[in-house]
Amino acid sequence: MKNIDKNVVMLGWVSFFTDMASAMINPILPIFVVVVLHEGMDKLGLIVAIATFVSYALRLVSGYVSDRYGIVKPLVVGGYALSAVSKPLIGATHGYKSIALLKAFERVGKGLRSAPKDLMISSYSKANASGKTFGFHKTMDIAGELSGTLILFSLLWYFGQSETVMRTIFYATLIPGLIGLVLVAFFVRDIPRSESFSTQAFTLTQKDRKTIGSLLFYFLFLLFAFSDAFFTMQAKEIGIATTVIPLLFVVSTATQTLTSYTFGVFIDKTGAKRVLAFAYTCGVVAQGLLYFQDPVFTWVAYAFLGLFTVASLNANRAFISQQADNRGSVYGVFYAGVALFGAAGAYLSGLIWEHFSMQAALLFSLTGTSLLALIFIGSRYGRS
């Protein structure tokens, strides 16, 4: 890790504090919506869907702008600013519509910054080390999540889980959010304009189109996979206390923190697709363990969720860095696909859960992810 560029290191700290803020609210937001505000699971699914979907166009636009005009750092800074401001305002909400709106603004911020940020990381990567570089950055990212989750657990354990405590925690996310914003604004150098292909007219090359085609399988998998919010509500449904639920996220984030850089090394040595095959297997195991509806299996499911998340994201981000010509634009397409299919999946799962049962939603998820994983692993695409 000593060869990681200092700008990537600083971007890692930016992500650390930003994801600390996110992790302080993500484990309790579904409970706040369903239990405190008395909204249904379909409303929670709608919030997740809107929040996931709303930024997809911006991810495409920000990737294109980065490639075509060389505007990179301003988009990253603007994205982090929106996220820092929108999270604390959730503490003042009293209905699912206002939460959906604020989560949409937060996702707009992520949409603005995601593709340009990955372009910066890719540009600062050493030769033949994109897997390690993205693995390092993801390690910092998830270490922030781990820290935020531990802070949340400590606050709930000491102060209780009342509505007032939850709202105060939402307000408190302003502090790490502003720290991350200051770091990216003043301590991260923009990439040279020549590296952002600013003189090119926008067109996806054959390599770009082939790279995007390879990402479609991941998008389909996300259509069926449970999001974090649904993992949270499953834990709540089977009797795990609200105060303890942040520790489930600790299991997931600690697993990701410990394995992220190692996955990066494997990606550089063996190829992204073999790591993806492992990721899909872990995703299926995570969904399957939830189906047992036993607290012990749920704890283990969070560990496999962490393995799926970190392995799949590192593999896809490194794959784009290695294969695409217009990397900013392809990163934009990648995040757009994640948003679009993730939103559709969350909405479907919410509807099935609300109008049928939790078991039906779990069966939908497990069946879809299992079939896709078998197809991927059994095909030349999975073995190549």
pLDDT tens, residue by residue, 308-341: 998 998 899 888 888 887 777 788 788 888 888 8
Phi, psi (degrees; rounded to nearest 5) at 325: -85, -55
Q: How far apart are CA 118 and CA 130, in angstroms?
A: 11
Neighbouring C-alpha atoms within 13 Å toward the C-beta of 6: 4
Q: How far apart are CA 249 and CA 296, in angstroms?
A: 14
Q: Is the pLDDT at 64 greater than 80, yes or no? A: no
Question: Quick check: helix, strand or coil at residue 81?
Answer: helix
Give the pLDDT score at 198: 46
pLDDT, average across residues 275-302: 93
Domains and CATH numbers, the chain: 6-188+205-383 (1.20.1250.20)
For 5-25, how does the pLDDT look when each residue is reduced to its tens digit (9 = 90+)?
A: 888 899 999 999 999 999 999
